[in-house]
A and B are shown apart, each in its own frame.
Chain A
Amino acid sequence: MSDRRLDVRKTYKLLINGAFPRSESGRSYEVASAKGAFLGNVALGSRKDVRDAVVAARAAQTKWWGATAYNRGQVLYRLAEMAESRRDELAEHVTLAEGVSAKSAQVVVSRAIDRVVWYAGWTDKIAQVMGGTNPVAGPFFNFSVPVASGVVAVIVDQNSSLGGFVDAVLAPVCAGNTVVVLASERRPIPAVLLGEMTATSDFPPGVINIITGRTSELAPVLAAHEDVDGLDLTGAPEEANELALLAAGSIKRVLRPDGRDLDASLRRLRAFIETSTVWHTIGQ
């Protein structure tokens, strides 16, 4: 029986500051496939993991925003390259998580990777499309320049294991924000895999942080955290009011799902951008 070997079982971990720690609490939970089969043990993130992730995201934000838009696009494109070479693994896990056919899963993965490329293209176009020169009655230039909000907390769609994750996470990142992501509670594995790919895509540590665990436990911590500037509530439609109320305590920008398809428009890209207006004399 020389060809028999032990299984190499995988524990799905968090992504905080470019490292893959187990939860600070030491807890984990079992994730099952759409058909109920055991898929793996996933870290059950805690309040303190959220705290650490926000510290990492805050520290990374200056560097990420300070990089040129062109460079941010290159990094995002690199993520598409990484995902493309591991697409079969992603598709397999989309099938398991969502219970769709292998063929549909390939379509989901293709769309997700295409969206990554789409966001890669957007990094250096946001300023043209969303900024501008304003007419003023005087010898001045007046520019409106889009600026990243800062640290954005994203509660991703609970059902779409990969597609929802890509849009909700990369839109704010593309605009220069850093993110702390609460992955889908029941279907976190494709998100964790994509997180592993970000680690080989030249993202500075801390730009994308992924926490797996109980949404009901962690979402309020993120919503109330005063050092978070934006909150995407896509994955918590029922608790949206309560969470938005917590977010109001520190005047966060909040993106609330309203039934319309966010990804067909630029609403996600616009959601976590501030406008900075600059005056400059003409001819000086």
Chain B
Amino acid sequence: MTTVPLRIVRETDRGVRIPLAATVPTVESEAQLRALLASLSGVDAVGAEARAARLATRSIKKSTKLAAINLAISMVDLTTLEGADTPGRVSSLCTKAMRPDPRDASVPHAAAVCVYPDLVAHARAVLADSPVKVASVATAFPSGRASLHVKLLDVTEAVAAGADEIDMVIDRGAFLSGRIGQVFDEIVAVREVCGAAHLKVILETGELVTYDNVRRASWIAMLGGADFIKTSTGKAAVSATGSTALVMLEAVRDFAEQTGRVVGVKVAGGIRTTKDAIRYLVLVNETVGATWLSPDYFRFGASSLLNDLLMQRLKQHRGAYVRPDEFSGD
């Protein structure tokens, strides 16, 4: 056996070995993609659920909890994806993302603001040159039911309006009916029109039925050039769960070990409490290690989560439970 140079070898990295020399394989045909996916082993569903449940019982206290809360705040993609969104609402969301607690400058800023494409220009104007990124959902979010032409136009406009990150949805209909080549080609096409913008690929795991499908879809997205793979749109009946996040984190780990490319994970939908957020951080730390514990590689797509994080943070400082309406609603 030959030893390959390693980029990350730290005790905190849970033994993840990322080789410098390896590269992402080029996918030239659907048959090749199929063969690649066929080489992935099946997911032990019971084992994945048990492990996620076990890790969810970890207790994080005191200064560690405070550090986790601060880290989680810096990972929030503050999201508003409602039909009733207005420029005013987006403005207040942007202000909140830049300075989550106006009284306390030591609170880190959120990672990004996530809006519909038509509000990107507005968010861009408010955020100006702040470090908070503008993320936009695109490709006929949330269903993904439009022609490739329409989807690409959607992305192009969002990028032109100033989006730093694009959250695309995969075509679940095509995936479930076995047309994985089409799913892959779409991701590649979107990746191209994204240009410098980061690409997050939403798998909508709640519609993928099995963990095996989640693992395959994760690989398709990563092979197609995703910078992040994301659990859900938040619009389906089932959103992010610990066990699907675990499966995706393992896919990301395997991908990094085989190709040398580090892909991030974004969990979204139904994450409302600090306790939920910390559970995900534990899951990240125990599955892929400390490298991923950064807004560059892990994100929470959420809206009400930020207030709960701020509330728990204040509780840690004050020593008394805090009133929820101490923080702005939007």
Which chain B residues in 302-330 approach chain A with CB under 8 Å?
A: 319-324, 326
- A227–B324 contact, CB under 8 A? yes
Expressed in whole angstroms, the Cα–Cα distance for A63 and B118 within the complex equals 38
Expressed in whole angstroms, the Cα–Cα distance for A250 and B326 within the complex equals 12
Question: Which of A78-86, A191-199, A218-226 binds B?
Answer: A218-226
Expressed in whole angstroms, the Cα–Cα distance for A20 and B121 within the complex equals 51
Residues of B near A227 (CB, < 8 A) are: 321-324
Interface centre among B319, B321, B326 (most CB of A within 10 A): B321
Nearest-CB residue, chain A, relative to B321: A225
- A250–B319 contact, CB under 8 A? no
Give min CB distance, A256 to chain B, whole Å.
20
* Contact mask for chain B residues 22-44; partner A; CB cutoff 8 A; 1 contact, 0 none: 00000000000000000000000
Expressed in whole angstroms, the Cα–Cα distance for A249 and B326 within the complex equals 14
For the residues of A in contact with B, the DSSP-based class is: helix
Which chain A residues in 219-243 approach chain B with CB under 8 Å?
A: 221, 224-227
Residues of B near A249 (CB, < 8 A) are: 320
Expressed in whole angstroms, the Cα–Cα distance for A224 and B319 within the complex equals 9
Expressed in whole angstroms, the Cα–Cα distance for A221 and B318 within the complex equals 12
Which chain B residues in 271-330 approach chain A with CB under 8 Å?
A: 319-324, 326
Which chain B residues in 183-208 approach chain A with CB under 8 Å?
A: none
Give min CB distance, B249 to chain A, whole Å.
29
**A43 lies within 8 A of chain B by Cβ:** no
- B319–A226 contact, CB under 8 A? no
Residues of A near B323 (CB, < 8 A) are: 226-227, 250
Nearest-CB residue, chain B, relative to A50: B321
Expressed in whole angstroms, the Cα–Cα distance for A225 and B318 within the complex equals 10
Expressed in whole angstroms, the Cα–Cα distance for A250 and B314 within the complex equals 14
Residues of A near B321 (CB, < 8 A) are: 51, 54, 221, 224-227
Expressed in whole angstroms, the Cα–Cα distance for A51 and B324 within the complex equals 12
Expressed in whole angstroms, the Cα–Cα distance for A227 and B314 within the complex equals 13
Residues of B near A58 (CB, < 8 A) are: 324
Q: Which residues of A contact B (CB under 8 A)?
A: 51, 54, 58, 221, 224-227, 246, 249-250
Q: A225-B321, A227-B324 are in contact. List 7 more A-B contacts (CB 8 A).
A: A221-B321, A224-B320, A226-B320, A226-B321, A227-B322, A249-B320, A250-B320
